[in-house]
Amino acid sequence: MLIKKGAEANLYLEEWHNRKVIMKRRLPKKYRIQKLDKEIRSQRTVHEPHVIHKAKEAGVPTPTIFMVDVAESNIIMEFVGGKQVKQVLNDLPPEERLRLSRHVGGLIGRLHKHGIIHGDLTTSNMILTSYGKVVFVDFGLSERSTELETRGVDIHLMKRAFQSTHYKYARECFEAVMEGYAEVVGEEEAKNVLEKIREIERRGRYVSER
């Protein structure tokens, strides 16, 4: 059953060895040269499980990978039950909302500290399980980098997600994320990332004004 149609891949909820799983299928892109398309899909199919494993090693909960089919560009992974953070954040009591945001910030800090850029940091790609664990999903756009620019872009996307989906609480939630982030990477690094985000925002305003 198709549950999410993405630009990069489709997600299907399926049964596999008597368990619910997510099948991620990278479908051919007709606008690309066939050989190049197959190469890109194969590379991404290998890359994503590798990064998910590295994130798990860094202490960030991620889905368990059960099978990787490089030839067909498919990944079978654990189905994580729960709700997207996007669905619950606005309805939480204030203290709980800030606690969850700080926790998310700490998890992002762990990723960045281990040179992992998620690439699509939104509250849609974080699952809050019934037992209170936050699981990061969809590493399809991830990369390995310790550059300040890529870290700034990663968290800038998170900030924009708050502004668009959780606009009533965007400022306080983002500040809480950065508090949690600073606890993991250190105050100095967090300040550097914040300054980079401001620079990215200035660049965006400059481009839109031209």
Alpha-carbon distance values, 65 to 6, 120, 122, 128 (Å): 20, 19, 21, 19
Supply 184's token pair: 């993991």
The Cα 207–Cα 148 span in angstroms is 21
Of 37, 91, 120, 138, which is the active-site residue?
120
Host H or E run for residue 116: strand 116-117
Whose tokens are 């049964």? That residue is 15
Active site residue 120: yes
Polymer length of the chain? 210
Coil vs helix vs strand at 100: helix
Question: How does DSSP classify residue 91?
Answer: G
d(CA 68, CA 72): 9
Instruction: Give 200's contacts (C-beta < 8 A, 6+ positions apart).
Output: 152, 153, 156
Known catalytic residues are 120
